[in-house]
Structure 1
Amino acid sequence: MEIHISLQRIFLLAAIQGWFPGSESQDFLAFLPESIPALRGSCVEIPCTFPRVPAGFHLIWYRDQAGTDPIIFNNKNPLDIHEAFRGRTFLVGNESNSCSLRIDDVRDSETYYPCINGNINCNALRGFNKVWVQVSDTPEKPVLTLPPSLTEGTPARITCSVRHTCTHNPPVLLWNKVGFNRTERNEKLEGGVWRFLREMDYIPTYQDHGSPIVCESIYRSGQVSQETATLDITFNAKVVQMGGQQDTREGEVLDLECVFLLPNSSSTQYSWYRNGIPLNQGTQRTLRIYDVKESDSGNYSCKVHTPNGNFSALSLTVTVIRNSVSISNPIPIPSIIIIIIIPLLSGSLLLLLILCCICRRKCQCSACNPRSNNLSSEVCEATYMNLGQRDLSAEYSELKGAETTDSPYTALQKPNTDTYDEIKPPIGRHNNNLGKVVSI
C-alpha cells in the first residue's frame, strides 16, 4: 500500500515537471495571444510572459517559416538578427518575467514565437506557443459616445475612443467641436489590444442643431479614420435675425428674410410689418417688394406664428433713396473720352498748323520784298536814262541831219544807239521780269 502511494507521487511529480512522456510542464512555455491585429505602417506590441525568471535571461524571437526560422530579436546579440528586422524590434515591458516584443513599421502578416534561455518555449518536439500578427491596410473607425439627449446650454460629456495595438505611439483623436475639461487615457483590453479614449464637456447650442460632430483618428503611418454623428439638440423656438439690404433705390426690388428656428415643426406662418402696420403681401418667410418707392422706407419687422407660440424679431430700418436724375442710356466713360477729347485734339492741331503757315508766309514776304524793291528801282533808273538818251539822239538827228557820221559827236552817238537797242527789249519786258523776281 505504501509502495503504491509512493509510485503515484513519483508519476505526479514527473507529470508536473514534464518528465513523463506525453506531458508538458507549463514552466517550459511562454504565454502570449494566438493572434493580434496590426495596422500596416504602424507598430504592434506583442504581450509575452513566462512563469519563472531564469538566471542570465536570454531572449530570442523567431519568425516561423518553412526551413530555418530567422531571428528577428536577440537581446544578447542585436547584430544576430535578420536584416529586414534590424532597428525595428524592441523588448518592452517592465516586469521581470516579460518577453513582450514591439515591432515597428509592420509590413506583412507573419507568425512569431519567443525562446527564453534555450529551454523555455523552445522545444519543437514538445511544442511551443506562437502568435499570428494579422496586418490590415484599413484603420479601425473610432467610436463616438453621446448622451441620449442634448439640451441647449446644458453641458454634456462626449467620448471618442479607438482600439489599437501600439501603446508606444497611439493614434491622435481630434474633434470638430469646441469643448472643455478634455481628458485622455489608455485602457488595456485582452490579447494585446488597447483602447485610447478622449473625452470633453460640450455645451450644446441651437446653432449646432442638425450639424455633424466628427471624431478623427490619425495614426503614426499617416492614415486617417473618422466617425460622424448628427447633433439633435432641444432648444426653445426663436427668431434669430432679419436679413436683407438696408439701403435701396427707387425702382429696385427689396428682399427681406425672417430667419426663424424651431425644431421639429413644419406648421409655421409669418406676418410682416412696416412701422408697426401689417403688410398684406407678406405671409412667407421672405418679403419681396417690386419697384420700391420712397414711401416704402421705414422699420420692418416680422412675427412667426407656431404651435408653441408667437415670436417676433428685431426691426430692420430700410431707406429707399430717391432717384433725382434719370439717365436712360448713360454714355460709357470711354465713349465720352472719344467724343470730347479727340475733337479737341484735332482742332488744336489744325489751329497750330494754320498759325505755322501764316508765320512762314510772313517770313517769306519779309525776306523777298527788299530784293524786289531794289530790282524795280534799278530797272526804272535804266529805263529813264535810256529814254533820255533816245530823245536826245532823235532831236539831234532832226536838227543836224546834214552832218556826217564821221564827226566826233556822231562817233560818240553810235555806241549809245547800239546800247539803246540792247536795252530797249528789257524796257518792254519790265513788268514780266518784275513778276519773275517776285515769284522766286
Structure 2
Amino acid sequence: MDCTALAPGMSVFSFMVFLFLPMQAVPNFHATLPGRINALSGSCVQIPCTFEAPEDELKNTKNISGCWMKKDHAFLNPESLVVFNGTSNTIKGFNYIEIIGNLSQLDCTTVFYDVMNNHTDNYYFRVEMKPVNWYYSYTSPSYISVSDVPKRPILTPNDLQEVMEEGTVNLSCSAEAPCPKQPPAISWSNIPDSASITLKLQKNTDKTQSVFSHMTFKASYKDHRKNISCTATYPRNRSNDSTVETIMMLKVLFSPKETHIIIDPSDSISVGTNVTLTCKSKASPNEMNYTWFKRGQEKELDFGEQLTLNVNRRSEGWYFCTAKNIHGNQTSEEIQLIVAGSASLESLSLIIGCVGGISAFLFIFLLVMIFLRVQRVKASVIRETDISDQSQEKHVQVNSVYANSGFAMGEELKTPKDENDMIHYGEVYFSTLQTKSTTEKISGLETIYAEVCGSGKH
C-alpha cells in the first residue's frame, strides 16, 4: 500500500488503533532532518536525512521505501500532502524528487529538483518496510525556505583582529550549497598578489553542505583599511545566475610610511611673509608625534605636524621632519626653502667657489706661459749674441783690410812723385767678406779701397 491508502481489510477503528498503539510500541523509529534549509528558486535542494528502526524488523524486511509529506506528518490530516511515494514512484507538485540515500543503510537523503517559491513549507519523511506495516517517523519537520536571492557568504573572522605588518592573515569564506550538484563558485577581490587560496565542498554540523574558500597572505601596510570581498555565484535553471557578496575591512598595524613635507605656499617666498611646512605620513595607529629639523642645526627646530615660519634671509636652508608612533618612526627627505630675490647660501658658495677656482687656474696658466715665453726670448738672445760675437771675431781676424798696406815680392813700393798721385789712407771693416772693390768719395776725392794679398816680406 502507499502512504495515503488503508491496508486491505482494515476498518477505520482498527486503523486508528494501528495509528496510535504503534506510536507507543515502536519508539525507535525516528528520522533526523535539518531544522531549516535555504533553497534558491530555479535550483535544486538536497535534504540530508537519516532514520532509526528496530534491527530485527530491518533484517526481516524484503522491501523498503520512503515517502515525503508536506505540511503534516499524518496522512489522514486533510492538509497533509504526499509529494513523493517511493512505493508507487509518484510525485506531486514537483518536477522530480529522488532519494539518493541507501534506505537499507538508514540513509534517506533526498533531492528536490527545480524548486519554486511556492514549495516553501515543512516536510516530513516516512518509511515503509514489507512485510511489516507502515510506521511513522516521529520527528520534527525540515523547513525548506525557497527564495529568489541566496544568502550572503560568511567571512570569518567577520571582525578581523588587527594584524601586524608582515603578519600572516587567514580568512575563510563559506557559502551555503543547498544543491551540492550545482555548488556556488566563490571568488575573492581586492586581495594581494601573494595570496594563497584553497577551495573545497564540505558538510556542516547538520549535514547540509557549504563551499569553503580559505585564503592566506602576509599583511602589508598598503593593505590597511582595504575592503576585501568574497563573492558567491549560484547557477540555476534560469537565464541568469545569482550573485551575492560579503565585504570586510582589513586592519593592519604598522610604523610610519611615506613620510614627506608639503610647503604652503609652494610658489615664490618673500622676506616678511609666512610659510607653513606640513609633515605628512601614513601609520596605524595614526596617532603620531612629529619633530622638525634643519640641516646644520643639532637641536630640534620644533614639534608638531606643522611648522610655520616668518621668512627672513636666515630662513633659507634644508628642512626635514620625523614621524613616530608606537611601532616605530621614519624621517622624511630634505626639502629646500628658498627666499625669493636671493640665492641660497649653498648655491652662492658653489658659484663663488667655481669662479674662484677657474680664475686661479687661468692666472697660474698665464704665469706659466709668460715664464716660458721669457725663457724662450732669453735663449734666443743668447744664441744671437754668441753667433754675433763669433762672427765679429772671425771677421776681424780674416776679413780685416789694412789700408795702403801692400805686399810685394822682393821690392818696396815706390812713393808717387806727383802730389796728385798721393795715396789717401782709410780703414774699413766688413762684417761679411767682400770680394768686390768699394769706392768712397771724401772731400771731392775718390778713395779706392782694395784688398791686396801677397806672400813674402812686407
* TM-score using structure 1 length: 0.49
Kindly indicate which of the two structures has a greater share of residues assigned to strand: 2
* TM-score using structure 2 length: 0.48
Kindly indicate which of the two structures has a greater share of residues assigned to helix: 1
